[in-house]
Amino acid sequence: MKSHVATFIAGAIVATGLSAQAVPKDVASSLYQEAQIRGVLVNSVDDPDNCDFYYPAVVTRGDLQIAISTAGHSPALAQRIRIELEQQFGPEYAHWIQRLGDARRELFATDRDPEARKRKLHEIAREKPGMVYLVGAGPGDPELLTLKALRILGQADVVLHDDLLTPEILELVPSTARVECVGKRHNEQQVTQQEINRRLCEYGAAGQTVVRLKGGDGSIFGRASEEMDALRAAGISFAIVPGVTAASGAAAAAGVSLTDRRLGSALVFLTAQRCKGNPPPNWKAIAELGGTTAIYMPGGHEGDLARQLIDAGLARETSCFVVASASRPNEQVIETTLGQLPDLPTLPAPAILLIGTVRAKDTQTSLAHQNAGKERADH
């Protein structure tokens, strides 16, 4: 029975909430001695003298684990090293270690020459796993990049960016990185989506750290899903780094909130550009939802869009903002109404429409209007 106890209670943690100096010496050491008599291993928190073992700082990437121990001398150093190793061994290693395992099993099953097999295994392990980051760069102001986007950009071997990227953001790309503009607008010879997918897979397979840099948030009207499909099919690791979308940048420029719980509960992101064969938006449903509609890529059709929304039932007085180059030095904001929108000159791209958003000064009027309607309905 006794031996069972010794087998099961293999370790103990002494945690008093006090610093090592504040715990009476005899308490800490007598706990340690008692544990030793019983064959129990002890970790006394922040008290290395009374420890049999230490908790290491650990970097985990799937089945790859790297543990760092300073034998209790400096958990702070262990933490620093962990952070450095986390950057050196990114999330791609989780996938990579699986691939190495598969390759090893396959070689053991097929290759009979142990020396050749060993050489091959070392060769594969020397390769660096490729990784593609789909990074949202925000609406243009470099300060609206996330810390993560900035860090990953600093590690890039290759950057493929679209037209929306500002020179200020591109300046943050390391000079050692290869930079390719794959935008649809500025290229004389347009780079097709298929070609972009192909390059992402090619660079990823060659072990490069690839940053696919997109304006705003890559998952909003950014063809990110087509790129992810291609990467998945090619077995290339990728990760998504979200960004500040143009609608958020535009709302900040206009000084409005995208939602106001007093006036509606919907926020619709819509694009005026459609993929061939896709049906037009259900304007009636959008008009009935209320709240705010952000229309991306208005492409000079602002007037038409306004007319369609009015036909679908939105009031001509509905508040509307046209915001061009949000968050950039040449930012322009025009406040208007849906009824007046067709008479305005179109703003240069990139521009976005925010419809239904209400300015603070208008909120009271809109609320009064809504409440009046409600009272009538109540009676």
DSSP lists the bridge partners of residue 321 as: 335, 354
Cis bond upstream, residue 350 (ω within 30): yes
Candidates 90, 130, 204, 350; binder of ligand SAH (CB under 6 A) is: 350
Nearer to ligand SAH, 207 or 242 (CB): 242
The full length of the chain comes to: 379
Q: For residues 247-266, which are near ligand SAH according to CB under 6 A? A: 249-250
Looking at 206-335, list the stretches that DSSP marks H as alpha helix, in order from N- to C-terminal side: 224-234, 246-254, 283-289, 302-311
φ, ψ at 153 (rounded to 5°)? -60, -40
Nearest residue to ligand SAH by CB is 216
Nearer to ligand SAH, 82 or 328 (CB): 328
Nearer to ligand SAH, 47 or 141 (CB): 141
Please name the amino acid found at residue 330: N
Of 25, 118, 128, 184, which is the active-site residue?
184
Give the H/E segment covering residue 82.
helix 75-88
Residue pair 97/59 in contact by the 8 Å Cβ criterion: no
Q: For residues 91-150, which are near ligand SAH according to CB under 6 A? A: 139-140
The yes or no reply on residue 221 touching ligand SAH (CB under 6 A) is: yes
Distance from C-alpha of 46 to C-alpha of 353, rounded to nearest angstrom:
57
Judge whether 184 counts as a catalytic residue. yes
Rg of the Cα atoms in the chain: 30
The yes or no reply on residue 320 touching ligand SAH (CB under 6 A) is: no
The yes or no reply on residue 286 touching ligand SAH (CB under 6 A) is: no
Candidates 100, 149, 287, 297; binder of ligand SAH (CB under 6 A) is: 297
Residue (of 209, 234, 239) closest to 224 by Cα position: 239
Token output for 43 = 């970790």
Distance from C-alpha of 227 to C-alpha of 273, rounded to nearest angstrom:
19
The yes or no reply on residue 246 touching ligand SAH (CB under 6 A) is: yes
Residues in contact with ligand SAH, counted by CB under 6 A, come to a total of: 26
The yes or no reply on residue 208 touching ligand SAH (CB under 6 A) is: no
Least Å distance between CB 24 and ligand SAH? 60
Least Å distance between CB 69 and ligand SAH? 44
Judge whether 162 counts as a catalytic residue. yes
- Binding mask 139-178 toward ligand SAH (x if CB under 6 A, else -) reads xx-----------------------x--------------
Residue pair 357/292 in contact by the 8 Å Cβ criterion: yes
Candidates 135, 220, 252, 338; binder of ligand SAH (CB under 6 A) is: 220
Residue pair 163/182 in contact by the 8 Å Cβ criterion: no
The residues that are catalytic are: 162, 184
Binding site for ligand SAH (CB under 6 A): 139-140, 164, 214-217, 220-222, 245-246, 249-250, 296-297, 323-328, 349-352
